[in-house]
Structure 1
Amino acid sequence: MSKYPYAKIKEDIKKRVMEGEWVGDKRLPSSRDFAQAYKSSVNTVEKAIKELCTEGLLKRDNRRGTFIDRGLVSQIGHSHSGLVAASVIGIDNLLWATALRGIEDVLHLHGFHLLSYSDDRSLDKLEALVKGAVAKGVDGVILSPIFDKNHEGRNQALYQLLTSSGIKVVFLDRHLYNSDIPFVTSDNVAGAYKLTKMLIEKGHRRILFIRNSDISTLNERLLGVKQAFLDSGIEFDPDLDLLIPTQFENFLEEFDAYSTQVADKIKEIQCTAIFTANDQIAEAVINALEQLQINIPEDISLVTYDAINLNRKLKLNVTGINQPFYDMGRAAATQLMNLLNGKDHFNVMGQICSAEINIGSTIAEVK
């Protein structure tokens, strides 16, 4: 089996283009050279190159070789590079792939080409993307900002680099505090409110809300939980807001340790239901409950955000919110097109897309 399958080769070449590895009219390596470097076959590399040419990122001259296509012009009557870069948590993540599809559908209508990129919630990777986007001369960037208290200055410098280079920016899924960059997200407060009310109506008063960071989306979901308690005339115990921080937002490498911490807290804090801020935290909670031999929903109820990802991965039917990532992607791309066409007045600073509730089988009445 190839060490570098076709999709990975394609994304890596795209990333290297974005980072400005081949500038000016410099020719890219031959397919044979790429094949040797990637320890793959020439045919596999050819497939990746041909798709990048079809997407408009590269162009091929049968005599001279393969080059970056710098002659893209949008079809809307203005001179642009015709390129928009989008950075998401993970291209292989179903939800984010859906958001990219929404972005691409809008860009296609306006004659723009999408350069998709996965930052894996790494500030180093995001920095490489931003610098590559500037070097490439893209017209706009859609990204999900990384919240890092230890590098707030570095974060701000990246966005200032984009704006000072004349590149329009729209945030997707979350936003930075004290920022005037427009963003698109889902109705986090309303969604969390509805899930919490469902639990309260089943008699739950000790609902443990678990999150792993202070990003805007998770804080909005916490606000929805608290609002549901307030409207129900029930005091919310601050101990029920459980923040177990992780080094990275995608904490795959920390998963086992995180599950252990969750198990310890569940033993310590009395609760009849758990509300997890996202699907990865929900998976850690399920793992912790299995360790503790606690059954869902007989012993404890569970609700989560991004239930669709969790349910597809674990083949479960957890009650939770499914965010409209396709609609969010389309909305972010539409906002970006408005910015590029001087139609800022059509935009709103924070556009909210409605989410849906998946009624699963993980809520039971309090005994």
Structure 2
Amino acid sequence: MGKLVVQADRMENEENPTGLRFGAPAYERIAQDLRNRVSSGELTEGRMLPGRRALAVEYKVSLPTIERAVANLVSDGVLRTDLRRGTFVGQVAKTSSTTPQKIAALGIMAPLRIPATAHDMTHNGTYAMVGAFERAISRSGNRTTFFNLWRDAPEGEDRLSAAEGYEALVAQGVSVVVAANALRQADMGPIRRIAASGGVPLVIVNEEKVSPPLFVVHYDHADAAHQAANHLLDGGCRSLLYFSARVSSWGEQRWEGVRRAVSEAGLPRENVLDATNREAVETDAPIHDATQGGLAHARRLFAGNANLLAGGGVGVIAANDQMAWGFIEAAAERGMKMARDYLIVGFDDMPESRDLGLTSMRPPLENLGEEAATLALQAIQGPSSARRISLHSELVARNSSRFVMPVLVGTR
């Protein structure tokens, strides 16, 4: 396609063709210039725009300025984005170039405990997602309305349901509702009915077990565990143990990823053990209790099988970092050290894991928030574009996933 050439006098000449006041922010002038070119037919429906960096060079502005201008046009439906293919001119009715842009209010609900402890991954992870979402929406020129399912619950109740949070945000006039780490099992039915009602669009963040017409962005727990398992197998482990102090939906997905890796490696089924505590079920209890839960569960495992790690070559995949810490402590009580007697990988990449040398799977928390913002802006355009985005974790390798070779005294 031809280049979008921006002439200096096009943006600032006396006729001011953008229809904006002189001195308006650059992103507003660029957005209006592109809007005018779409309205005039110069940029036709379905045409792909150059990449963000190319636009930044041609408009002689920074990349964030271009991103904000494009996000505004995506919000208005002037442009549409395909994360794999690029940005395209959408279906837009031709309007006067002087029509002011409508600022949309996007609602987001989440369960945030205030105050939270340093180890509360539910709070910290959700906080990171919500923050990334808010920053992305702000860059688009729109605004957010936040609703805390914990703080706004009536006295005596643990928290509001996702359906109650949705209704509260809709009552405040938002154009779309985003649920970040907000769904419990009891929420699934009501949320599906809300989505099917055709009301204010709903975007679900970090929950896989939902289906269209919802907009969903999540990270693939099974893929993360599959990566962790392959990393341990590549590191010399001959058998794997999946360790979790309680049953959870995400834990079951991770267990499936571990089993798949073992199967693909051609190892016998007996070389992988599910050491999940099936008597404990996931609740809304603060997740910082997971360390003590992991310690207690590991102690029970060792008490029932003193040879759990016998023979060496065992790789442990803990459901999260806190449970891994508990396992490491219980193993140390029996004289076993990580990287010497066994390898171990956790999830969530908590700050303390760096000090312990624990290899961990880092979740794409901020990416979840940013992609949720993209979906939310698209959702305003209508339910026909409902979609699902799956993100992947990143393995952060440290000492816990590498066997330390013994030093032979007297050799050179």
TM category (shorter chain) comes to 0.5 to 0.7
- SS of alignment partner, residue 84 of structure 1: strand
Structure 1 residues 306 and 108, CA gap change in structure 2 (3 angstroms): same
Which residue of structure 2 aligns with residue 96 of structure 1? Answer: 126
Q: CA deviation at 1:358?
A: 0.6
The answer on whether the counterparts of 2:133 and 2:372 sit within 8 Å (CA) in structure 1 is yes
CA distance in 1, matches of 2:393, 2:140: 27
Q: CA deviation at 1:167?
A: 2.3
CA distance in 2, matches of 1:171, 1:348: 11
Q: CA deviation at 1:290?
A: 4.3
- SS of alignment partner, residue 330 of structure 2: helix
Q: Normalising to structure 2: TM-score of the pair?
A: 0.59
Structure 1 residues 161 and 182, CA gap change in structure 2 (3 angstroms): closer
The answer on whether the counterparts of 1:147 and 1:176 sit within 8 Å (CA) in structure 2 is no
Within 5 A, what are the aligned runs for 1:60-79?
76=76
The answer on whether the counterparts of 1:171 and 1:181 sit within 8 Å (CA) in structure 2 is yes
Q: Normalising to structure 1: TM-score of the pair?
A: 0.65
Question: Quick one: which of 178, 190, 207 aligns to 2:240?
Answer: 207
CA distance in 1, matches of 2:343, 2:323: 15
Within 5 A, what are the aligned runs for 1:139-150?
139-143=175-179, 144-148=181-185
Q: Which moved more, 1:189-198 or 1:170-179?
A: 170-179
CA distance in 1, matches of 2:362, 2:176: 28
Which consecutive unaligned segments of at least 5 residues does structure 2 have? 1-73, 77-99, 117-122, 151-156, 406-412
Within 5 A, what are the aligned runs for 1:154-233?
155-158=188-191, 160-161=193-194, 164=197, 166-177=199-210, 180-211=213-244, 212-215=246-249, 217-233=250-266
The answer on whether the counterparts of 1:191 and 1:321 sit within 8 Å (CA) in structure 2 is yes
- SS of alignment partner, residue 240 of structure 1: strand
Which residue of structure 1 aligns with residue 398 of structure 2? Answer: 360
Whichever residue aligns with residue 95 of structure 1, its letter is G
Structure 1 residues 159 and 283, CA gap change in structure 2 (3 angstroms): farther
Structure 1 residues 359 and 251, CA gap change in structure 2 (3 angstroms): closer
Q: Which moved more, 1:181-190 or 1:155-164?
A: 155-164
Q: CA deviation at 1:81?
A: 6.2
Structure 1 residues 253 and 193, CA gap change in structure 2 (3 angstroms): closer
Alpha-carbon displacement from aligned partner over 1:302-361 (angstroms, at most 9, x marks no partner): 10111244526xx3221121112111111111111111123743x532x12232211101
Question: Quick one: which of 270, 285, 290 aligns to 1:237?
Answer: 270
CA distance in 1, matches of 2:221, 2:290: 26
1:264 equivalent to 2:300? Answer yes
CA distance in 1, matches of 2:272, 2:348: 24
Q: CA deviation at 1:225?
A: 1.2
Q: CA deviation at 1:183?
A: 1.6
Which residue of structure 1 aligns with residue 65 of structure 2? Answer: none
The answer on whether the counterparts of 2:362 and 2:395 sit within 8 Å (CA) in structure 1 is yes
Which residue of structure 1 aligns with residue 40 of structure 2? Answer: none
Q: CA deviation at 1:80?
A: 7.5
Q: How many residues align?
A: 285
RMSD over aligned Cα atoms: 3.5
The answer on whether the counterparts of 2:108 and 2:178 sit within 8 Å (CA) in structure 1 is yes
Structure 1 residues 171 and 242, CA gap change in structure 2 (3 angstroms): farther
Which residue of structure 1 aligns with residue 49 of structure 2? Answer: none
Alpha-carbon displacement from aligned partner over 1:194-242 (angstroms, at most 9, x marks no partner): 2211211233233211233342x33332222112111111023397123
Q: CA deviation at 1:170?
A: 1.5
Which residue of structure 2 aligns with residue 248 of structure 1? Answer: 283
CA distance in 1, matches of 2:270, 2:324: 21
Which residue of structure 2 aligns with residue 311 of structure 1? Answer: 353
CA distance in 1, matches of 2:269, 2:208: 26
Whichever residue aligns with residue 144 of structure 2, its letter is L
1:334 equivalent to 2:374? Answer yes
- SS of alignment partner, residue 137 of structure 1: coil
Which residue of structure 2 aligns with residue 301 of structure 1? Answer: 343
The answer on whether the counterparts of 2:212 and 2:387 sit within 8 Å (CA) in structure 1 is no
The answer on whether the counterparts of 2:316 and 2:344 sit within 8 Å (CA) in structure 1 is yes
Which residue of structure 1 aligns with residue 135 of structure 2? Answer: 105
Structure 1 residues 247 and 308, CA gap change in structure 2 (3 angstroms): closer
Which residue of structure 2 aligns with residue 22 of structure 1? Answer: none
**Structure with greater proportional helix content:** 1
Structure 1 residues 213 and 306, CA gap change in structure 2 (3 angstroms): same
CA distance in 2, matches of 1:196, 1:253: 25
1:348 equivalent to 2:387? Answer yes
